Homo-oligomer: A and B are copies of this chain.
């Protein structure tokens, strides 16, 4: 299957993009193709990369806002999560994929339960995803054993799909929910199987204080002592990391997913130290976090939150300028996941989006990147191609009406279930 994106604007001028075998094969020449996408008046951009989310939590959107983290977990999230069925997970993920496609995301890194059901949804929707089965043992060896079985089963099912777009990853939830032994075993699994490790790190001050009390070390120091941190690890949040930990993340090659919207909403009290992480050369990307704590999956919005939050936190409006926010949401995320995406170049993965320019918020065009980051939302995206496959054209996605209806129905069922 080949695609020609015809007369599309790239770097300020019109061009042609020829796609075959899931890759951008040639830029510049009009070639015969199975599918021709007329793109006159549209700009082509790399698809965005969501480096931290919990896709199926779209079913919880709007449940438990405006409450403290602990209340939120104890009275809203955990009781409902205990009742989640694989079918809930599937429809939540379908809804999340629909929302991501509609807002220009082509790749995401996920962590939740029943990830084989998420994989099924992702395969049907056509996105690229790295799926980590969430692992929480709370220090109980029996629970760890059972959870590792779930991880193994989920990853085997995902691998059995043989989809080049769907890759299993490991999801030890956090240092305060996973035992030392299990954390060490995740490192072995990653080394043996080549899986990425995806975890939460230093989201709250309490996590740091508890870690100091228990281990006499800060969270990143503790993970480093266990030998976990390496270039195949992606940590989400990092709000409370200190200079010694930034140094550890830098020299181990650990990647960081910045989730500004979630951090602001849950009032984590401190912003991820962006300038110092950048200075240390740490690869970073952006994450929406789950819809229960954001409440949408629009990475265009996250770019603006990231840039504005960091300016305010650093008391310096020059910090995290538009082009860096754009880089985080595209190439940064792609590099963190080790995929050839994030740029429109020959040989790269054909993960790209077309933007319709005839909009008030994109007028005038003094600076396109500023417009994408500071003025636009995901609804500027007209068409989405992932892995050389058209997932949205003229804002129409196949099966949309059914997904909205079924996801709403599952969400209603979930809150009324005894």
Contacts and interface: CB of A to CB of B under 8 A. Distances in A.
How many monomers of this protein are in the complex?
Answer: 2
A404 B360 contact: yes
Given A263-B312, A264-B309, A296-B375, A404 B358 contact: yes
A311 B358 contact: no
A383 interface: no
Interface stretch (A149-157, A170-178, A365-373): A365-373
A301 interface: yes
A307 to B, nearest CB: 8
A261 interface: yes
A99 B362 CA distance: 10
Given A298-B361, A374-B295, A366 B267 contact: no
A124 to B, nearest CB: 15
Interface in A345-388: 358-361, 363-368, 370-371, 374-377, 379
A248 interface: no
Interface stretch (A9-17, A63-71, A334-342): A63-71
Contact of A62 (B72, B263, B359, B375): B375
A48 B264 CA distance: 24
A407 interface: yes
Interface string A379-415: 1000000000000000000001101100110011001
Contact of A317 (B69, B368, B376): B69
A400 B411 CA distance: 39
A398 to B, nearest CB: 14
A244 interface: no
Interface string A301-321: 100110111011011111101
Contact of A322 (B66, B72, B312): B66
A309 B267 CA distance: 9
B318 A67 contact: yes
> Which of under 10, 10 to 19, 20 to 34, or 35 or more describes the interface residues of A?
35 or more
Given A265-B311, A404-B363, A301 B377 contact: yes
A317 B415 contact: no
Contacts of A265: 307-308, 311, 317, 374
Contacts of A307: 66, 265
A199 interface: no
Contact of A311 (B95, B267, B411): B267
A258 interface: no
Nearest to A266: B317
Given A295-B375, A358-B404, A361-B298, A269 B366 contact: no
A165 interface: no
A49 interface: no
A307 B298 CA distance: 17
A34 to B, nearest CB: 29
Given A268-B312, A295-B374, A358-B401, 10 more contacts: A59-B364, A61-B366, A62-B368, A63-B367, A65-B370, A66-B307, A66-B311, A102-B361, A295-B371, A296-B374
24 contacts: A60-B366, A61-B366, A62-B366, A62-B370, A62-B374, A65-B370, A66-B311, A67-B317, A67-B318, A68-B317, A95-B360, A99-B360, A264-B311, A265-B307, A265-B311, A266-B311, A267-B315, A295-B371, A296-B374, A358-B401, A358-B404, A359-B404, A365-B408, A377-B377
